Structure 1
């Protein structure tokens, strides 16, 4: 057999290309071999073509095709998008994708090569004019299999019109061509998606806060502006009344027709956090009436929608004081509640990101203080309200603040940010189940994606999930839209190829040994296939190869049985651990209830003690008043006694002298008076 050689100098057997040809890809998105029709859609076929070229030829060095053919464009884009991926990695991914898409490919390829390829019927593919569906234009590709003459129509909606500037490549940022007047460049704005439309509100431009509401239609890729009027004044005047300008706020979709504008820095002097509601049907806004004690006004906080509640953490108040408090707004009762938490919370910070996993765990990543930026990860269990700081695995991101994040399933994508020196160029993703980081892609130069204060939302185009980034500041203010199509499958595990670490179980509070064994089993099966493929090099050795393959497969089956037995044991242990965990959570809940009860009793006792102290103070005051009255009474009694004695003495004198009549009668004076 002839040998093909990649850029790294490693040789690959012809079976590699035969596998690609047999599996339905010989250079076109859909093809067939004798008696075998394509088993793959356009996406998988294009990816297989790119991996095959990367493994056998090396990185793409040919120019982009000039003519607009969806097939040639797709093939070139798939190959070029792999960059400098190593040939070994490309071959491994090629085999892995074949295994996922068609588990029986290997046995059929062996027979296919043994019988040789004599007659290959190539599908005829024709491109028809663009068709329109729901206002969206795309090219329709029709495949006509030659075996039975039946026509199977497939629409490759991943390959969009060049006019929209979107390339159907996974995990690569592209800048599409947009229609309409772009919004003013800005950062620290709010963004949200409602009904296939991305809404942008507010932000900061040259130190000036903005108050406009812009909308980008994901079906037509057209920008437009919505003029809002105050809901309270809409009955009196039809003229638009803009919302107060703000920046550093959060824009949260609420239902299918409303947006919530939460917190943010404003020019006003609000002491408490403001929440405003925008009705997209009536184009009106109003202040949301809430109850309870709202948090202090702030900006740069994180706001996460969990069920029917908003969870607000951290930020920076109007006095530039950093915060790490936690508040919850119940959207059903519109009541604020400041939460008391256990464990060590994150340090005070702003411009961080937050996400929720499994409707239970709140994850906080990064952010900054006045002097530094962070790359720590904190997890809050919203049931027990306890903070933890799990160990991060994989390619841990560098410290950053002002970044943006969005979740797609259990994957948390994070874009942009800065570290007080430069913008961050990597787009990273965290698997929230395993707490393993990986890098999705990198950008070059000072571009909007390496900015602070940008926004990131999850949208959909023709049923395809896309990440949409807008705005940011990296020395200049930006108003560009960038789009990334994340891989449909578990691209994170494909890139990392690592078993779940034992220390990343903080989110679930228990390890998952079954995943370790399954991952190890997959890796060993892949290694055996590579050994088999590498041993195939010439026609005379076919019998030896087949015998070696059977021996290796037999050994693999034995090892697989042992691993399955071990796996069942580990599953039993896992169930026991889950039961113990459930019991521990029950005990913890009971203890927490008891703690709350004790706290309530303590509060009532403290209140009663305070009342007693007040009563004692009043009694002491009365006692002091009684002492003063007693002294005054004694003084009055002495004065009364002296007055009584003086009165008695005067009366005695008068009685002894006989008075005037006695003197006139000639009564002799009293002897005591003479003596005196």
Structure 2
């Protein structure tokens, strides 16, 4: 796995040794005294066995005598681990300690643990050099560090050098760690970072395997940290809904219209699909944005890049750790998702923790990333107009495979820092000229510093007209909350141009797209002027040598002036045509804006009609139920009517029978009236 992909495991053995020192193993002078004594006996014995397995290897010592039960229990715990690998023992040791003591890592003293290990990861020595610290605003921080730069000598970070904000950066092409004031955020990686109006916002992330949901801001003018208190959202907005922000990591943070858009990311209780949330920088509240279309499946470790007014999402890892290579577009004006399934060409293999950039608002570049078993250093390009994938040939100092790196674009240059592979963090900061696809190395750091870690963030800000890169956080065995800045020089651009001259085919890697009408005008002017110069030079080369008299010279000049006037007339016509095209383009953009508004209006009407339709369906269902009741009552009424008719018919029959009996009596000689009188007597 890539180095810090194991938030549940280890990227480096340092975290294990820090945990061992905390638990009282290893005899470190900085370790807590008898901390392990507060654990349950079975936990303490298991930690002992794992520590021995990680540092010594499988148990090969004989079983101690029975009269020493403590040593026998320790031997049983160690021996029961069998042939478990040392790295797995380290991982389990840290995992168990974090379950028993979740906050142990924040109490570890600031010292660097550098174990000297061989290929089999068996420890031969352990060094615990101490580092001095300074107290600032009641918080203890290490002194400014010295970073060894491979191609720039030794760079010492002196707090006296810092003058004010980013203006203190006077070194080009090297990472500098400036002095920061204010309460630093909790160390983290896999967080989101974005710059809005000279302020860098940090949201969420992963610390000790736990997700965060705080929002921090670094004022880049005076380099001061502060925390934003999130307010309750007003309930008057219909398109938004109040939401308590769940802690997350591996998400993307994008600035858009004075808002911070947080999209995707891993959470403790993931949803089925990607959610889009926005933080309003004016009202300081979070809201969930309503989207249309088919949203992507939930994920983390994806790339989300802003291209015009759309967000381009690629890849990532879903909640079940399945790697993805799907491609989705979210239109921020209509908030509609669109999944691109019919792209031409071969897309990148499924991956997460890669870097992405958009060049000239047309080309999406995907670099690196990792799967569950390996890391990549391939480069893929998607033409967003033709929806065609390609894998162009890279030139220059091609970077090594990596995952968890961060990238930011400055003009046509794409800077990439950090990341890790299966063995260690990546120390080179590289830059890609996106027009020529030529790589070059900006600088290289030495030592285990946050710049050579995974899950760091990288943004760009401007100071006095100069672009400055700002890096924060990361994980390389230790979680970081350090800030580093770099002022790019023109050296990387010059190296790319030199490589472009050396490699003729590299210039055709990508075609830059600019404003269409501006291209027409510039190409017409350049073409006509070039044609004019060509005609002049051809005439001079072929005729000037034969012109010996003033008369021939005047004829030549007259002809050239006529040709020039003709070409200038043609150029004027082309400019008029270009102006007309500009006007048509403006009209088309206006029409497009009107159509977009009309589409939104129609969508609103459709939503209202849909609500009305739903209400009508409910009314129809109620009427059907009443109709069924009426039909039942009608059947009961018909039954009662039949019963009544039957009763009346029976009574009539009885009367007729009684009358018929009286007639037969009369015929027998006894009238009915007489019988009645006799009966009454």
TM-score normalised over the length of structure 1? 0.50
Q: What is the CA–CA distance in structure 1 between the aligned matches of 2:165 and 2:255, rounded to whole Å? A: 30
Contact 1:230 1:243 in 2 (8 A): no
Of 510, 525, 531, 1:507 maps to 510
Aligned residue in 2 for 1:315: 316
Aligned residue in 2 for 1:338: 339
Unaligned runs of 5+ in 1: 1-76, 86-138, 140-158, 511-676
Aligned length: 354
Q: What is the CA–CA distance in structure 1 between the aligned matches of 2:492 and 2:314, rounded to whole Å? A: 31
Query: SS of the residue aligned with 1:497?
Result: helix
Q: Alpha carbons of 1:490 and 1:325: their partners in 2 closer, same or farther (altered >3 Å)? A: same
Query: SS of the residue aligned with 2:217?
Result: strand
Contact 2:433 2:496 in 1 (8 A): no
Aligned residue in 1 for 2:476: 474
Q: What is the CA–CA distance in structure 2 between the aligned matches of 1:495 and 1:309, rounded to whole Å? A: 30
Contact 2:438 2:499 in 1 (8 A): no
Q: How big is the shift at 1:230?
A: 4.3
> Alpha-carbon deviations, 1:5-54, whole Å to 9, x = none?
xxxxxxxxxxxxxxxxxxxxxxxxxxxxxxxxxxxxxxxxxxxxxxxxxx
Aligned residue in 2 for 1:282: 283
Contact 2:151 2:443 in 1 (8 A): no
Note the 1:260-271 alignment, pairs <5 A: 260-271=261-272
Q: Alpha carbons of 1:495 and 1:328: their partners in 2 closer, same or farther (altered >3 Å)? A: closer
Query: SS of the residue aligned with 2:267?
Result: coil
> Alpha-carbon deviations, 1:549-605, whole Å to 9, x = none?
xxxxxxxxxxxxxxxxxxxxxxxxxxxxxxxxxxxxxxxxxxxxxxxxxxxxxxxxx
Of 397, 400, 407, 2:399 maps to 397
Q: What is the CA–CA distance in structure 2 between the aligned matches of 1:494 and 1:351, rounded to whole Å? A: 28
Out of 289-298 and 460-469, give the one that drifted further. Answer: 460-469
Contact 1:174 1:484 in 2 (8 A): yes
Query: SS of the residue aligned with 2:493?
Result: helix
Aligned residue in 1 for 2:366: 364
Q: What is the CA–CA distance in structure 1 between the aligned matches of 2:478 and 2:219, rounded to whole Å? A: 26
Q: Alpha carbons of 1:178 and 1:462: their partners in 2 closer, same or farther (altered >3 Å)? A: farther
Of 197, 200, 211, 1:198 maps to 200
Unaligned runs of 5+ in 2: 1-145, 155-159, 514-681
Q: Note the aligned Cα RMSD (angstroms).
A: 2.6
Q: How big is the shift at 1:421?
A: 1.1
2:305 pairs with 1:304:
yes
Query: SS of the residue aligned with 2:446?
Result: coil
Q: What is the CA–CA distance in structure 2 between the aligned matches of 1:323 and 1:251, rounded to whole Å? A: 20
Q: What is the CA–CA distance in structure 1 between the aligned matches of 2:187 and 2:176, rounded to whole Å? A: 19
Q: What is the CA–CA distance in structure 2 between the aligned matches of 1:391 and 1:305, rounded to whole Å? A: 25
> Alpha-carbon deviations, 1:245-294, whole Å to 9, x = none?
10000000002x21100100011230000100100100011001000110
Aligned residue in 2 for 1:243: 245
Aligned residue in 1 for 2:357: 355
TM-score normalised over the length of structure 2? 0.50
Q: What is the CA–CA distance in structure 1 between the aligned matches of 2:152 and 2:276, rounded to whole Å? A: 46
Contact 1:228 1:242 in 2 (8 A): no
Aligned residue in 2 for 1:439: 441
Contact 1:348 1:369 in 2 (8 A): yes
Q: Alpha carbons of 1:81 and 1:365: their partners in 2 closer, same or farther (altered >3 Å)? A: closer
Aligned residue in 2 for 1:253: 255
Q: Alpha carbons of 1:160 and 1:502: their partners in 2 closer, same or farther (altered >3 Å)? A: same
Query: SS of the residue aligned with 2:407?
Result: strand
Query: SS of the residue aligned with 2:218?
Result: strand
Q: What is the CA–CA distance in structure 1 between the aligned matches of 2:288 and 2:164, rounded to whole Å? A: 43
> Alpha-carbon deviations, 1:504-558, whole Å to 9, x = none?
3232299xxxxxxxxxxxxxxxxxxxxxxxxxxxxxxxxxxxxxxxxxxxxxxxx
Note the 1:117-136 alignment, pairs <5 A: none
> Alpha-carbon deviations, 1:172-215, whole Å to 9, x = none?
00000011000000000000000110000000001100000000
Q: What is the CA–CA distance in structure 1 between the aligned matches of 2:385 and 2:325, rounded to whole Å? A: 19
Aligned residue in 1 for 2:412: 410
Q: What is the CA–CA distance in structure 2 between the aligned matches of 1:232 and 1:384, rounded to whole Å? A: 43
Note the 1:656-671 alignment, pairs <5 A: none
Q: What is the CA–CA distance in structure 2 between the aligned matches of 1:355 and 1:498, rounded to whole Å? A: 22
Note the 1:377-392 alignment, pairs <5 A: 377-392=379-394
Contact 2:303 2:356 in 1 (8 A): yes
Q: How big is the shift at 1:490?
A: 5.9
